[in-house]
Structure 1
Amino acid sequence: MGAEIITGIAEFRATVRDWCRAHVPAEWRATQTGATDAEFVNFQQSWFQELRTAGYAVPHWPREYGGGMPIPEQIVLYQELAAHDAPRLVLPFVAIHHAAATLLAGGTAEQRQRHLPAILDGELWVQGFSEPDAGSDLAALRTAGRRDGDDYLVTGQKVWASGAQYADWCLLLARTDPEAAERKGISYFLMDMRSPGIDVRPIRQATGESHFCEIFLDEVRIPGANLLGTENRGWQLAQQTLGAERGLTMLELAERLGNAGFRWLVEECRKPGALGRPALDDPRTTDRLARLETELTGLRALCRDLVERHDAGTAGPADASIVKLYYSELLQRMTDFGAEISGLPGQTVLRKPMSGGWESGTWVLDFVGSWEWTIPGGSSEIQRTIIGERGLGLPREPAGAR
C-alpha cells in the first residue's frame, strides 16, 4: 500500500509539472509589474479560471464544491506551483480561504449554495474586521448594527481591508448588542459591497501599492438572510475565519517562501557585491543561508503537520497561531537579509509584480511589505498570548492588560 501511495504521488507530481510547463505564463512578472488595476484584475481572474479548469484552484474545499484533494497531493501542488514560479492568487485569496472556511463552518445551506459556486465563477471578497481602535483587540470593535424590521442597518468604519476596492462581498463584524460584554454582542454579516452607503478608500502604502483600504459604512442595509450564524454570537464564528487566516492558508505561502523565495535569495548572494565578489564567498553569508534554510524546512514541516491534523480533527487550539507567528517573523528575517545583500542597487527598485507573493525578489519592497504580516490577523504579541494561554495553559492576562 505504501509503494502504491508513493507511486501515485510521483505520478501526480509529474502531471502538475507538465501542466505548469504548459500553462504558467512565461512573461507574467514583466506584464504584471506596473500593471493597471484593470490589467491586474483581468489577469487574476483569468489565472484563477486556468487553475479551476485543471482542478487546482480550491484543492482544500470539500469535494462537492470542487475540491477534495488529499493533503499529500495539496503539498505537491503547492510545491510545483512555487517551483515553476506560478502567479499567486492574490485577489481571490480571501474568497477561497477566509470566506469559504467561514461559510462551510457557519453558513446556511442557502448561503453556501449562493456564494461557493459564485466564488468559483470569480466572486471576490474582503474581510471587514479591523477598525481604527480595534485591530489586534478585535473585540473592541464599534461598528454598530441595529435591527430595522427584518433587516439590519450598519454604521461604522473598517480599516486594513485588503482588496476592498475590487470586492463584491464583505465578511463583516458589527456590534448588535452594545450592552453585552465585548465578545458577546457581536454579529457576523455577509455584506454586498454594492449596497448604498458604502465608501471604499484605498490607502497608499510605503511600497507604492494600495493593497489596504478603509471602508466607511453609513446606514448600510443588510438583509436578515445575510446574518451568518446567530445574532450576537458572531465572535465564535469569527474565530473560524481567523483560524483560516492564521493557519490553513500558510501551506501555499510556506512552500513559496521555502522554494522560489529561498532560491532567489541564493541567486542574490551569487551576484557581485560592492567589493566585486559575490556575498556567497563570505562564510558569514553561507552561515546565514544555512540557518534560514533550516528554519524554512521547519516551517514547511509545521504547515504540513497543521493541515494534516486539521483534516483529522486533532489540531490544537493554538496551532494556527504558532504557524502564523513563525511564518511572519521568518518572512521578515529572510527579506531583511535579502535587502541587506542587494545593497544600494536594491534600493532603486520601485515596483514589484502585482500578482507575486510576499517574496518577489525585489527585496527592499518585500521587506517593507513583510511588516504587515506581524499585524493583521492578530499581531505577533497577540499570537504569543494565544500560544501561552490556549496552547501552554498559562494564566490569562488581567483584563486591564488587554
Structure 2
Amino acid sequence: MSEELSDFRATVRDWCVDNIPADWRSAQTGVSDEEFVRFQKNWFAELRQAGYAVPHWPAAWGGGMTVEQQVVLYQELAAHDAPRLVLPFVSIHHAASTLLAAGTQKQRERHLPAILDGEIWCQGFSEPGAGSDMAALKTSARKNGDTYIVNGQKLWASGALHADWCLLLARTDPEAPKRRGISYFLLDMRTPGIDVRPIRQATGESHFCEIFLNDVVIPAENLVGPENAGWQVAQETLGAERGMTMLELSERLAHGGFRWLVEECSKPRRNGSVPLDDSRVADRLAELEIQIDGLRLLCSDFATNDDSGPADASIVKLFYSELLQQLTDFGAEVAGLSAQTDLRKPLSSGWESGSWVLDFIGSWEWTIPGGTSEIQRNIIGERGLGLPREPAGA
C-alpha cells in the first residue's frame, strides 16, 4: 500500500472513531419509521460533509475517489460498524448512475445536487406480471402534447413510501416488440394520481411498496434517453445494482457479517460446548472466509478493469447474493433457538447485522431483485460464455 493510501486510511479511521454513533444499534432497534428516516438523513449529511457519501461519483459532482480509496473507505466504515445508508441507496447508486450515463445536463444539474441535499429516490420497474421478465411490463405512458399520461401499477418498490422521485419504466409503444416499446421517466412522487401502499414483509418491516398510477402526468422533459429506448437506459440502472454497489457490500460482508459469525461460533452454549471447537464448524467458517476473499478480489477487479465484459456485473451480483444467503443461513443454524426467538434488528444495518434469522430472510432480497439468480446465470451463459439463447417460452 502506498504512503498516500495509508494516510487516507488513517484519516478515515480517525473520522470513524470521532463520528460513528456508539449507540446507533440500540437507538435504531424498534424505532418508528419517522425516526429511521430522520437518522438516515442525518447520517447521510454527516458522510457528505466528510466527503464520504458518494465516493463513486465523478469529482465534478462531489465524488472522485479512486477505486483503491473506495475500498479503504468501505473497509474502515465496516470495521468500525458504521450504519449503512439504507434510505439513500437507490438515490446515490441507481438514480445517479442512470443520470450520469443517459440523463441530460439539465436533469443532472437538477437532481444530482438535490440527491446530495437529501432527495430520496425509488425504482418503479417490476410489476405484478413483470418481475424477472421485466420487459413484459404493462404500465402505459401515452404522449399528450408536452406530457405523458401514465397508468398502471408497480411492485416491490423499495423505500417508495419515503421517496421524492421515482425511476419509472412505462410502455410508450404497445405495438412494438416488448423490449423496444418501453421508455424511461423521472417521476415526481408528489404528482397527483400516485398511490403508494407499503407491503408488510415476513420480517415485520414494510420496506417494499406498491405504486398505483392513475392518469399521472409526467412532463416530456422528464424522459431519459429517446422515446422507446428505455430498455437500454434501464441496463445502466441494473448495472449499478449488479456491479459497483458490491464494492461496499463485499467489505461489509467481510468486516461485519463474517466477524459477527465468528463471534457467534465462539459463544459457549448452555452445555459448555463452543461451536468453533467442532471441526465441521471450523471447516465451514474457513470455506466461507475463502469465498469472501474471492468475492472481494472479484469486486476490486470488476471496478478497476476498463475491459469488463457484458456479464461481469452479473457474475459479481450472483456471487455476492448467494454467498450472503449461505453465510446468514449458517449463522441462523449455529445460533440455534435464540436466533429464532429474538427477532430484533437495527433498521440502519445491512443484511449482515448478526440478527441471523432476519438477516437470512432479508438475504433473499438479493437473490431475487435486480434479476434473479436464474436470470444472472442466463446472462453469464449467453453474454459471457456465448452459449445459445434459451428457446422462447422455456
Match of 2:21 among 13, 25, 40: 25
| 2:321 is equivalent to residue 325 of structure 1 | no
CA distance in structure 2 between the partners assigned to 1:336 and 1:276 by the alignment: 23
Distance across 1 between alignment mates of 2:330 and 2:87: 28
What is the aligned partner in structure 2 of residue 343 from structure 1? 336
Distance 2:63 2:114 in 1: 15
Residue 61 (structure 1) aligns with: 57
TM-aligned CA deviation for residue 399 of structure 1: 1.6
Helix, strand or coil for the counterpart of 1:220?
strand
Deviation, structure 1 residue 76? 0.2
1:152 to 131, 148, 151: 148
Counterpart for residue 376 of structure 1: 369
The 5-angstrom pairing of residues 190-229 of structure 1 reads 190-229=186-225
Structure 2: which 5+ residue stretches go unaligned?
A: none
Q: Which runs of 4+ in 1 moved over 6 A?
A: none
The corresponding residue for 1:244 is 240
1:61 corresponds to which letter in structure 2?
Answer: W
2:101 maps to which residue? Answer: 105
Paired residue for 1:275? 271
How many residues align? The count is 394
Mapping for residues 2-401 of structure 1, pairs under 5 Å: 6-273=2-269, 275-309=271-305, 312=306, 314-401=307-394
Flag structure 1 segments of 5+ consecutive residues without an equivalent. none
Aligned-partner Cα distance in 2 for 1:51–1:308: 24
Distance in 2 of aligned mates of 1:347 and 1:25: 28
Determine the C-alpha separation between the residues in 1 that align with 2:274 and 2:260: 14
**Residue 276 (structure 1) shift:** 2.4
SS of match in other structure, 2:353: coil
Please give the alpha-carbon distance, in whole angstroms, between the structure 1 residues aligned to 2:138 and 2:160.
19
| Distance in 1 separating the partners of 2:310 and 2:7 | 35
Matching residue's letter, 1:178: P
Give the SS at the match of 1:276: coil
CA distance in 2, matches of 1:160, 1:91: 15
* AA matched with 1:263: R
Taking structure 1 as the reference length, the TM-score comes to 0.97
> Which letter does structure 2 place at the counterpart of 1:75?
V
Q: Provide the C-alpha distance between the structure 1 equivalents of 2:282 and 2:14, rounded to a whole number of angstroms.
A: 33
Q: Deviations over 1:265-292 (max 9, x none)?
A: 0000011225321101111110000000
Normalised by the length of structure 2, the TM-score is 0.99
Specify whether residues 110 and 335 from structure 1 end up closer, same or farther in structure 2 by C-alpha distance, changes over 3 A only.
Answer: same
Letter in structure 2 aligned against 1:122: G
Q: What CA distance in whole angstroms lies between the structure 2 residues aligned with 1:45 and 1:160?
A: 22
CA distance in 2, matches of 1:274, 1:238: 52
